[in-house]
Amino acid sequence: MTQRVELATLRDRLAVDGMVTEYAVAVDDGDWEAYRSLFTPDGRADYRSAGGIEGDAGSVATWLAESMQLFSMRQHLIVNRRVRFGILEQDIGDTAGVQADYVDPMRFAENGAGSAAPDFVCGGRYAFGLLRTDDGWRLREVVVQEKWRRLPDRTAPAVAT
């Protein structure tokens, strides 16, 4: 590879990684307009494994806006990001796929802002499909594969002395 190709690949990797971060921030902040803007016009999301819906980004954003009202705090931690570039119309690098694990601690709104600890934690894996557009990288598909969830025990275990 030439330095120019390596630099372009590095820039694409950073841009794709940035889109995953923007996704997490939009969901955590409840910024549904920003969420919608991350997707291509035909972009879709699938939250069925987490008890949600599958559909176009606009419909899913509407569903998320309603269902996330249950939680006063959300904090996606998206880690172990694997980025793979694909080929579209014979141009290397026009598509990308990201596989990333997540942990998402949340606090129920009914428990108020006084509680510091999350009431609900879930984890799993995301599959992001991205497309290079004239406006930069955009999400074409987001698939959530929830693997576990739990309600943390609210009492600390006794410490043996």
CA atoms of 55 and 61, how far apart (whole Å): 9
Residue 56: pLDDT over 60: yes
CATH number belonging to the domain at 3-150, selected among 3.40.367.20, 3.40.50.1370, 3.10.450.50, 3.40.50.300: 3.10.450.50
Residue 156: pLDDT over 60: no
| Whole-number average pLDDT of the chain | 88
* Spans of all domains in the chain: 3-150
Q: What six digits make up the tokens of 141? A: 């598909």
Q: Which residue, 49, 44, 75, 74, is CA-closest to 60?
A: 44
Residue 160: pLDDT over 70: no
Q: Are 122 and 104 in contact (CB under 8 A)?
A: yes
With bands split at pLDDT 50, 70 and 90, how would you rate the model's confidence at 151?
confident
Question: Residue 150: beta bridge partners?
Answer: 121
Q: DSSP string spanning 77-125? A: EEEEEEEEEEEETTEEEEEEEEEEEEEEEEEEGGG-TT--S-SEEEEEE
Q: Are 94 and 131 in contact (CB under 8 A)?
A: yes
Amino acid identity of residue 150, one-letter, is R
Average the pLDDT over 51-77 and give the result: 95
